Amino acid sequence: MNENKPGNSQSLACVFCRKNDDCPNKYGEKKTCEKWNFSVHYYCLLMSSGIWQRGKEEEGVYGFLIEDIRKEVNRASKLKCTVCKKNGASIGCVVPQCKRSYHLPCGLQKECIFQFTDNFASFCWKHRPVQAITSNKYRDSLPCTICLEFVEPIPTYNILQSPCCKNAWFHRDCLQVQAINAGVFFFRCTLCNNTDIFQKEMLRMGIHIPEKDASWELEENAYQELLQSHDRCDVRRCHCKEGREYNEPNSKWEIKRCQCCGSSGTHLACSSLQSWEKNWECLDCRRIAYTSDFQKAPKHPLANSTNVTVTDCLLEESSPKLPRQSTVAQQKELLRQGSKFRRDISTILIELGFQIKKKAKTLYINKANVWRSAVEQFQSQKFNPSYSIEVVYVNDNDEVGSKHPGSKQEFLSHLMHHLENSSVFEGSLAKNLSLNSQAVKENLYYEAGKMLAISLVHGGPSPGFFSETLFKCLAYGPENALPTLDDVSDLDVAQIIIKVIKRVKAPFESFKQGLKTLGVLEKIQAYPEAFYNILCHKPESLSAKNLSDLFTIHKLPDVKTSRFWNSYLQAVEDGKSATTLEDILHFATGCSSVPPTGFKPAPSIECLHGDFPVANKCNNCLALPVTNTYEEFQENMDFAIRDSIRLEKEERSHLLPRTLNVSSNEEMLF
């Protein structure tokens, strides 16, 4: 098999459709086999009804053996195309009672659907799948979210609607071009970035999604410029005798880049920076970040005392010709800067999720000690946070050592609960890091940060228990979050603060290193406003409408059961049931709140011909009981959910991680 050559691809027609066209978007790549003197379109080959891929990928043409192709051409030569009336119609409608056969180009002309998945089914124009026509809420035309040309918001063959965003519409041709360029790893809804639901619907409607990397990822040196970093001193007066480009690491002539833009630099000595770790901003970024009407902070008597070196422990040196701000002013300014770059937290976490590979890592979790099992698994050298996670629960107490698959989101929910109550944190509702010698010895501060990062990126729940001080220290740095000497009037209090900071520096840095897993800490510092709510506050209470909209109804032909379900949700919201809406969600998915990235797969409901509801937490599927009366439905739902939660609470009371003994010299971090 040889690669395409211009002469061959133009002279030889496809053995199936008899066309010379070389149009990959419509017919797939055209391959020419010089040895056997024939050409074939990839899609014509895939969609032909009487041929299967019996060879390896490198054999024949894409794994289709030459002898099989010849047999299929011979079979098709006896079939007449329903459209053009010529022989060679190798594709037939998959519906058994339909006898229509056609060439691929003829089928496209007649708006047939070709599904590039499973058995590569083909549907004629009479039996093709269609999208459900919902009530048209849009009187006017809407733009195709890819090409931005206006379309009529009615599902047709050439106009498709997103299954996850009801106000997203596309031209079929636009979708096909995007799918070929993006590949299976990057083809997603243009509005919400959903992958699974979107791809499943597009495959059903005949969009070919090739199993390849995105075209922009395959370009040689496509991102080479991103690897180049600024390496020049740009301050007005460079004091280096060797020149502005001279860079000597670990010396005063090491070049440091602007922390905001990264496109300007300075020698440490040229900007009076004592250490490489000190932050530095170029002049342009300072003009953007700071207004010109700042007044100098009033001098405090402590500034001229013998304790002036203490200031360096709490706050970095002020930038040249810039008045030092108090802590409150700095926080307001940082928030003001951040407001320019507000982003939705789900979008940020979904983008971080692009790092996760399809390769799965199985975590064997002992339900008798979720915390310790998770620590052991995460500390294993074989664990890679960028691999997708599969959970298997093991029970060492059983004689046979039973194992059963578990829900990843349920495991991460349990893990966040155990982490919140671990010895690493201190406090009632808003928690700070605690200083614990045993936790330091076991490197649990690092593991705690890594667990939080993994939960957020892998679709688990958010912690929601950080104190505001802890969050500010992570987002803005301790020097911008803790009180400075200008903010403290009592020298003794200031000295106590300094003493505590010095002692807890190592655990805090370890916790930060763990949060750097999968790039989470960098995103927290880049978008603090987006992360503030999910790290410092528990999710808002659910409503009956929110929960009803969250679940997709599948296989629920019984209208009465559907009515019972909606009535039950409203009764629970009105306090007429012993359960809560959070209990229902936890029963079905293992999570009592919606994770920041949403559920994957999306929660669904189906009927169960039994007395009590059954939940499949691995699939987020809730099977409802079929009853004669609503009273019986509510009673059965309440009993099953309450019983399930009671058992979990009994387990949890025994399984919380034991609090490590805290000696008298151990203190809270902040």
Instruction: Report which of 7, 70, 56 is spatially closest to residue 34, judged by C-alpha positions.
Output: 7
Report the distance separating Cα 670 and Cα 508, nearest Å.
10
The β-bridge partners of 251 are none
Helix 559-573 vs helix 581-589: crossing angle, to nearest 10: 130
Helices (H), 353-490: 370-379, 408-420, 437-441, 444-457, 468-476, 478-481
Q: Which two tokens stand for residue 469?
A: 């001080």
Verify whether residue 618 is a known catalytic residue: yes
Helix 630-655 vs helix 559-573: crossing angle, to nearest 10: 60
Cα 20 to Cα 8, 27, 213, 384, distances in angstroms: 10, 11, 28, 49
Report the distance separating Cα 433 and Cα 514, nearest Å.
14
> Please, is 388 exposed, middle or buried when counting C-beta atoms within 10 Å of its C-beta (0-12, 13-18, 19+)?
middle
Q: Which two tokens stand for residue 503?
A: 């002692």
399, 447 contact by CB (below 8 A): no
Report the distance separating Cα 449 and Cα 435, nearest Å.
15
Q: How far is CA 298 from the centre of its chain?
A: 47
Look-up: residue for tokens 């009803």?
Answer: 548
Q: How many residues does the chain have?
A: 670
Provide the 3-class DSSP secondary structure of residue 12. Answer: coil
Report the distance separating Cα 287 and Cα 283, nearest Å.
6
Report the distance separating Cα 173 and Cα 170, nearest Å.
8
Report the distance separating Cα 465 and Cα 430, nearest Å.
5
Report the distance separating Cα 543 and Cα 594, nearest Å.
12
Q: Apex CA 565: angle with CA 559 and CA 571, to 5°?
A: 135
Report the distance separating Cα 513 and Cα 248, nearest Å.
27
Q: Apex CA 311: angle with CA 310 and CA 315, to 5°?
A: 135
DSSP 326-393: PHHHHHHHHHHHHGGG---HHHHHHHHGGG-EEEEEEEEEEGGGHHHHHHHHHHSTT--TTEEEEEEE
Active-site position among 93, 106, 258, 618: 618
The β-bridge partners of 373 are none
Backbone angles phi, psi at 402, to 5 degrees: -65, 150
CB neighbours of residue 360 within 10 Å:
11
Burial of 188-213, coded b for 16+ CB within 10 Å and e otherwise, reads bbbebbbbebbbebbbebbbbbbeee
Instruction: Report which of 430, 519, 501, 441 is spatially closest to residue 470, judged by C-alpha positions.
Output: 430
47, 104 contact by CB (below 8 A): yes
- Which residues are the active-site residues? 618
